[in-house]
Amino acid sequence: MTHPLIITAVRNQIGHIWLDRPTAYNAINLDSVRQLMAQLQQWEADDHIRAVVLRASGDKAFCAGGDIRELYDSHLQGTARKMQFFEEQYVLDQYIRAYRKPFIALAEGLVLGGGMGLFQGAAFRVITEKARLGMPETSIGYFPDVGGSYFLSRLAGALGNYLAVSGSIINADDGLYANLADYSVPAEKVAELDEQLDRLAWQEPAADCVRQLLEGLHVAPAAPGALEQARADIDLHFAHANMADIQQSLAGGTDWAQETLDLLRSRSPIAMVTALAMQERGRTLTMADCFAMELHVIAQWFDQGDFIEGVRALIVDKDKNPRWKYGTIEQVPKAAISAMLAGF
């Protein structure tokens, strides 16, 4: 029997699920995806359940993403498990987006990669001031997936391009500003949130009951955050449709621009070029087509991209010196990117 990777409880007709791998920052793998899917399907079919809350054990991470070490090992061993994980994870992410009952995601700590796939699909995206959100995939030779080509590409201005390419991780206030979260509840009031959920008097529609409760606990940012302060720079430099123009624009700019340029030079060139291309395409695609495009590229990426080298350098050997496939973005063949994206 598969070891339980989630904890569940039902109170006041609300199903609560905790991702329960705190020592692994609640990273998800194929087993946890299957356990989540089975539980959510059971509750969706149960007329007694009025809403669902997804959260995590501990306050260090809601979910730091997919278990990249398992994916690394699966590829080297030649097993099918890695693609099974991606395919079933994508089904779960889309299922959450279409869930027929109010779905609340409550996040503290890290919300990264695959964790963003779960979180962004929720009807009510709730964070505390401890939340840190991002799609840092380019730092490990990968690209934002789990719908990142859809939800990032629809952010205001050039925020999506910036977050996708740079892999920057933002704080709670910036998450609200970027529209990657809906409500912020102080960590000290999470217990009060639970108490109010336990006492909630259900009326129809149930979603209105949940919304009213969350609006009563929400605390808006007191002042502009770092992302808002950098917004003019972001829109100026990251509105370009190719990486060469972005880097040229950043060169000789403000201190923020120079720091960002230095950051980009640490990222995988092929990952950045691919991430930007997928943002540009994603803006015109449906959510389902964005997921299909990402899966199509994933099926090729382990052989053609930098993921294996990135995981080796940062997770396995920990030398923090990845030897990327291409030394600069200028060396990345445009034809290779076009070929990966063709025909999905």
Catalytic residue positions, numbered: 66, 114, 137, 145
Give the angle subtended at the CA of 99 by the CAs of 95 and 103, to the nearest 5°: 115
Taking CB atoms within 8 Å and a gap of at least 24, the contacts of 151-155 are 151/116, 151/120, 151/180, 152/279, 152/282, 153/279, 153/280, 153/282, 153/283, 153/290, 154/283, 155/179, 155/180
**Contact yes or no for 220/182 (Cβ under 8 A):** no
**Contact yes or no for 96/121 (Cβ under 8 A):** yes
- Token readout for 205 is 């529609």
DSSP state of 4: P
Helix (H, G, I), strand (E, B) or coil at 250: helix
Strand pairing category for 132-134 and 169-171: antiparallel
